[in-house]
Structure 1
Amino acid sequence: MSNLRILYKNIFDDYSGAAMSVPGSVIGHQLINLKDDQKAKTWRSVDLSSPKMIITWASAQEISGVALAFTNLIAGSTFQITLYDDPAAGTLLHDTGAIPVTYNYDPPVGFDSIGSASFAYGGGAHVSAFFNSVSGVERMEIELTSAGNPDGYIEISRIIAGKFWEPNENADYGAKTDFIDTTTGMRTSAGDLITDRGTITRAMEFSMQAMDAQDKAALNNLFRSIGKSQPLFISLVPGNGPITEEQLSQQIYGKLDLDLSVTLPFFQRYSASKRIVEI
């Protein structure tokens, strides 16, 4: 299994052009929304069989990972990423093939789907693909399918693309994912429990207790670069194959929640703990 992978420099936001191969975005849910970190701002297409986004850059980019955060992709859906060396034609540099989603969680209580209406209550799904680094990219195409989606449309809140960082030494065993439920309860004078439903978000926490000097330098650079103000995408179980429950549960799009403290537990080995909270 690959070590954890982190996307923290999102070149998607630097695109020079974004369009659909066939116009089909829902009014109010255009491609520009994919640059916004507010979960409720999404791109939608009522084409469930083959909507294709075409993203271009004015200069060559390097890409080794692409993530689609907060989607309504259910089991049976697919996504495919192709990279080219020209904004309009050119040579195919990489093709992931159609990557299937093999699992989806039930919608939160009170919702009929895992779409954006439920994102604040535990809905939505992240999917991602990681691959060997590809240089000279000037165009990225993302094609999707989601036959039978109960929403009647495909929906994505955020795209993250760029070059991933992977440590030489993986995260320690014991990484955990927390579900943070802000629901509150009050006991009435009659003895009844009155519940005020709150939002549900996730947090991921893990340690790296045996980093070498190269990993320590890269982690310092990451934190100095984005701090706690900018989002990142982390997968503890990265791959480029089918999206399983394990992948759905072990990746997160969020922000660092703790200051970075690096310790020196023994000679030329470094230790740090990270906690990331969902946006």
Structure 2
Amino acid sequence: MATLTCAPTPLAEQPVTHLQDLRRQRMMRTVDTADHVITATWSAPQRISCIGLFGHNMRKSSAQWRVQLFSDSAWTTSVYDSGSIPMTVVKGFRALTWRVDAWRATIFSDRDSAFSVLWLDDSHAIQSLRITLSDTTNPDGYLEAYRLLAGLHWQPTHGPAFGASLQVDDPTELTQTAGGTLAAVSRGAPTRRLSLELRWMSRDADARRLIEMLSNQSKRKQMLLSLFPGAGSGEEIDYTILGRISDSPQIAIVHPQRARAKLTFTEG
């Protein structure tokens, strides 16, 4: 696990270490909207090709972040620098809701929270990273997030087959009153479940990598699944899940050079 620090220091009851806590209600929150720098170090080199910040409130088009990766633990030998880039994507002309959306509204403007993911073309061996958050006009008066991810990502040679299904599970319990009203007797946060099938995996590369990933992660650890990575659209938001694999997948050899797998991921 990485060692995290943040400058200036966040609220004492909502520290930067909450970004490593699997409980979503454990937020990191800053005391103001000044630029904040999050740093992380590892005791040994790690290979990184994906960095994501989840559940944050930096949804405006003016919000920027900068991701820097270093091969040493002292943040001196740089191997990657994203420069200052937007944290969210501005809605396209056709996606704007006229007389409702403000100019330069982003794809997260009408959402309670946002996520930002940086998918790198190549992996880097690093031992430290620095993330600079900049959103001085944030209307909340502070910056917050609940999860920081940094690791390797994998993309199969061929994408999922058509038929991938997204299910929204709402644990709210309903009861009908004597007057006929359908009332909620208990409430819970809805979660998404995404099921997909990989039908055209190569046995020597895709299937072996998937088996390795599932064996290392299994149900014990969180994973990030994105059906439309980097699309910058509402569809990417809907089909990106930070959660766990929720079944015991079977990988079938269906051809001398091909394998198939069915996977289900549950948010949380």
Q: Shorter-normalised TM-score: what interval? A: 0.7 to 0.9
TM-score by length of 2: 0.83
Spell out structure 1 runs of 4+ moving beyond 4 A.
none
* Equivalent-residue separation in structure 1 for 2:215 and 2:73 (angstroms): 33
Cα deviation per residue 1:58-111 (whole Å; 9 max; x = unaligned)? 33222111111222231322222111223334232111223321321535xxxx
Q: Secondary structure at the match of 1:73?
A: coil
Task: Determine if contact 2:35/2:136 at 8 Å carries over to the other structure.
Answer: no
TM-score by length of 1: 0.80
Q: Secondary structure at the match of 2:146?
A: strand
The one-letter code matched in structure 1 to 2:211 is N
Task: Determine if contact 1:62/1:134 at 8 Å carries over to the other structure.
Answer: yes
**2:77 equivalent to 1:91:** yes
Task: Determine if contact 1:178/1:204 at 8 Å carries over to the other structure.
Answer: yes
Task: Determine if contact 1:207/1:272 at 8 Å carries over to the other structure.
Answer: yes
Measured after TM superposition, the shift of residue 143 of structure 1 is: 1.2
Q: Mapping of 1:38-117 within 5 angstroms? A: 38-76=23-61, 77-100=63-86, 101-102=88-89, 103-104=107-108, 106-107=110-111, 114=112
Measured after TM superposition, the shift of residue 32 of structure 1 is: 1.4
* Equivalent-residue separation in structure 2 for 1:147 and 1:250 (angstroms): 30
Cα deviation per residue 1:227-273 (whole Å; 9 max; x = unaligned)? 2221111222223xx84433322211100111111223334211111
Counterpart selection for 1:220 from 207, 211, 228: 211
The one-letter code matched in structure 1 to 2:53 is L
Cα RMSD for the two superposed structures: 2.1
Q: Which residue of 1 aligns with 2:4?
A: 18
Q: Which residue of 2 aligns with 1:245?
A: 234
Unaligned runs of 5+ in 1: 1-13, 108-113, 115-123
How many residue pairs get aligned? The number is 247
The one-letter code matched in structure 1 to 2:169 is I
Higher RCO, 1 vs 2 (CA within 8 Å, ≥6 residues apart): 1
**2:130 equivalent to 1:141:** yes
Q: Which residue of 2 aligns with 1:121?
A: none
Unaligned runs of 5+ in 2: 90-106
Counterpart selection for 1:208 from 198, 216, 223: 198
Percent identity, aligned pairs only, is 25
* Equivalent-residue separation in structure 2 for 1:248 and 1:266 (angstroms): 34
The one-letter code matched in structure 1 to 2:110 is D
The one-letter code matched in structure 1 to 2:78 is L
**2:257 equivalent to 1:268:** yes
* Equivalent-residue separation in structure 2 for 1:151 and 1:180 (angstroms): 29
Structure 1 residues 152, 61: closer, same or farther in 2, change over 3 A?
A: same
